[in-house]
Chain A
Amino acid sequence: MNLQLSLSAKLIAIAVTSIFLVACKSTPIAPAKVEDKSPAQPAATQADSGADTGAVKEVVIDSTANNVGNNPLKDPSNILSKRNIYFDFDSDAVKSEYRPLVEAHAKYMLAHPDAKMVIQGNTDERGTREYNLSLGQRRSVAVKKALNLLGVQDNQIETVSYGEEKATQNCSGDACDKDRRADIVHTGD
């Protein structure tokens, strides 16, 4: 039993790490098992450089989110106010630089089991509208899978896509980097 647990914990740690490096097509490993332990673990595994480190810590204060007039989701100094995850061209891989952001939102959702979120996938304007809707969906699902691996359950997350409908850039070459995006929207935003 013990062995099994630690094995699955390792598998989860590997999966969580790899999901930020590789495309998210890998099947999430029994996400139901992940729910209690894993959020704390991956936070320590990778040293993402930069300013966000401090912000991740603020997420811990998250448990006080119910305080009146103190909404961490809207506090610009809180990483939870960051909602955009950008993707490479023709890719649905969540890049490692978004790990702190995804972890912060995962912690928030775990701390607020009644909270719901919608992840909206987006693409640039190239290609047909309906096909882009499906491509955008793949991006929102990739973010959801990353959250699943951190323990967030499907009943708290809806994945949808706007396809190219929110695209604002006129594409030429490999521009349009701002349009290839998934946006996190919390209920009540």
Chain B
Amino acid sequence: MKLFRWMLFCAIFLTASMANAALEIEISGGGAQQIPIAVVPFGGAGNTKDNINEIIAADLHRSGLFRVLETRGMANLPTTPAQIKYAEWAVLQAQAITVGNVESVAGGRLKVSFQLMDVLKQTQLAGMDYQIAPSQTRTTAHKIADIIYQKLTGQSGIFASRIAYITKSGKRYALQVADADGHSPQTVVSSNEPLISPSWSPDGTKLAYVSFEKKKPVIFVQSLTSGSREILANYKGNNSAPAWSPDGSKLAIVLTYGANSQIYTISSSGGGLKQITKSSAIDTEPAFSPDGNMIYFSSDRGGKPQIYKVPADGGSPSRVTFEGNYNVSPRFSPDGKSLAYIRNDGGKFRVAMQDLASGQVQLLSEGSQDESPSFAPNGRVILYATKVRGRGALAAVSSDGKVRQRLNDATGGDVREPAWGPLAN
């Protein structure tokens, strides 16, 4: 028992020590209209091991929408709005500046405060105080970055949101959840048998996924907070491709019984099974439209795999993609205006994005085995799985195709099947 506890401790310790460097990010490209911003080191920074300003700066930089100015050479590094000498920052062409402070308060907690100032107008754009446990420092930095992003671009920030993905190390599979920047990964479940198809509940508290632990694909739903894990679907044949409805009340899933893949819906608590497609073809990879009215899916009912749509409570399907011989894995943008999917473009599997109103298609990714597109909850970035020298890695591209990122697993394993969670509260 003691030994077991010690082993458990070691396992946790090992996971924690690997945690901070599990995914390394490379960025290329950038928007033409980047907002110049100074992110000044926080006062009292000695109170925390995480450099809040660096985390904020990295977030903003990674979005491709900001040019983070070098502050190191500056004689004056303000930590409150009153200390800002705006003229000095105007010379650097800073449009905005952030200042802040960290102090230790009662109960071993930290008080983090920050202000975002308009350099030209010399007015405050945003400000916030947080009382946090030291372990929440990174999350708080991401939340501050979200506020800055929102104030200066008018769109929701995604830095405090989380991503899920599958890793394979040797023969071990793990479903992990990490911060959107790849930091602080936590294992949700691990297995010697494959794990695939993670899907976030809309409230971000649960993940549905497919596990082969019973020597066949079975759908589980697991709570991230309690760790409790329940079988959602274990019918004869395959149980796969779970996708939540936007209100979280049900999931679209794929069952086979003794035949080909067909789409069903099932209540999120199990039961209430309803067959949605009835064909002798493959119907799979369901995805709800953001209004919950339609289910888009992949099907080879026309010969080659294409994307179709069907009313979410059943009806006749109609075809959505017409270009190319292989279009699968549909994923909606959060505003419902675009569809990302995987196209086989002359033997290369790439992320394509289709404007649903005009039908116009743009190829966004540059790999040859790209899979699993997943929109960031603000719709500005698409995360996907790619292969680098035969190894699975994650990559991201801005929805305009201008900014690219790659997240490599520094531990040497395979990373695959990313799914971007909802906006942080």
Contacts and interface: CB of A to CB of B under 8 A. Distances in A.
Contact of B261 (A125, A133, A157): A133
A165 B212 contact: yes
Interface in B185-236: 194, 196-197, 212, 215-217, 236
A160 B238 contact: yes
B181 interface: no
A162 B285 contact: no
Interface stretch (B149-157, B251-259, B352-360): B251-259
Contacts of A128: 285, 328-329, 342, 349, 371-372
Contacts of B282: 131, 134-135, 137-138
- The interface residues of chain A, by DSSP majority, are classed as mixed
Contacts of B212: 162, 165
B260 A127 contact: no
A46 to B, nearest CB: 27
Contacts of A180: none
B196 A129 contact: yes
Contact of A159 (B256, B285, B329, B349): B256
B371 A129 contact: yes
Interface string B288-305: 000000000010000001
B417 interface: yes
Contacts of B215: 118, 120, 160, 185
B258 A131 contact: no
Contacts of A130: 196-197, 240-241, 254, 284-285, 298, 328-329
Contacts of B342: 128
Given A137-B260, A141-B258, A161-B238, A127 B194 contact: no
Contacts of A131: 282, 284-285, 298, 305, 328-329
B81 to A, nearest CB: 51
Nearest to B257: A159
28 contacts: A25-B280, A118-B215, A120-B216, A125-B369, A127-B326, A128-B349, A128-B372, A129-B196, A130-B285, A131-B328, A133-B284, A134-B254, A134-B260, A137-B237, A137-B238, A137-B260, A137-B261, A141-B256, A141-B258, A141-B259, A141-B260, A144-B258, A158-B258, A159-B256, A160-B238, A162-B217, A165-B196, A185-B215
Interface of A: 25, 118, 120, 125-131, 133-135, 137-138, 141, 144, 154, 157-163, 165, 170, 185
Given A131-B285, A160-B216, 10 more contacts: A25-B280, A118-B216, A129-B196, A130-B240, A133-B240, A133-B261, A134-B260, A137-B238, A158-B258, A162-B217
